[in-house]
Amino acid sequence: MKYLALDVVILLPKEISKKIISMNRKQIKLGEKILILNNRNSIPHISLAIGYIDTKYLNVVKDITRKIVAKFSNIDVEIENMYKTALTGSLALKINKSKKLQEFHESIIDGLRPYFSLTPSRNVFYKSEKVDHHTIDTVKNYVKKASYEKFTPHITIATTGNIITIKRIKFKAEKVALCQLGLNCTCSKIIFSFNLEKQK
């Protein structure tokens, strides 16, 4: 069996992604050395579900995700403030947990949870030789510690740093993707992507 560390994510519109990468660059200047965001292999995102899957189920997971995505449209996203996440302690942007976003997350978890495995391994990650035990355990424990009522949507900015005041940012979610995870649970490789339809 071959496993994959999978992240189902909302990808950010280009202009929002550019702002997030700019915030990350400021943290790099202040000493961030681990999380280097870009649009190639460390992509800014909002995680909806994380877990290990057997790759023989990858097409099944793809089809389930596609069907769920087709049921949702016009998902408003609002960045509220900067904070440090409880699960990893990383510096992140807090996303307003709207009713629709919560329902979207729960639908993804409900659909994919039967295919998630509790068999963690370093070699299931992108550039696996760089992945630490903390990342491995974060993926293993996501459903238990960060799903359903514990879901805290966010965009990671850096692994460390100081919280600053930011202006609220609003945008429409446009695309969902299945990604292979890398170090510090970065979205490192897009496997499949799906457009979120806009209501006419």
**pLDDT per residue as tens digits for the range 110-159:** 999 999 987 767 778 877 667 778 788 888 889 999 999 999 999 999 98
Specify if 123 maps to a domain.
yes
How many structural domains compose the chain?
A: 1
Specify if 17 maps to a domain.
yes
Q: How far apart are CA 21 and CA 32, in angstroms?
A: 13
Start-to-end C-alpha separation, the chain: 44
Specify if 200 maps to a domain.
no
* CATH number for position 34: 3.90.1140.10
- pLDDT band, very low/low/confident/very high, at 15 (cuts 50, 70, 90): very high
Range of the domain at 64: 3-195
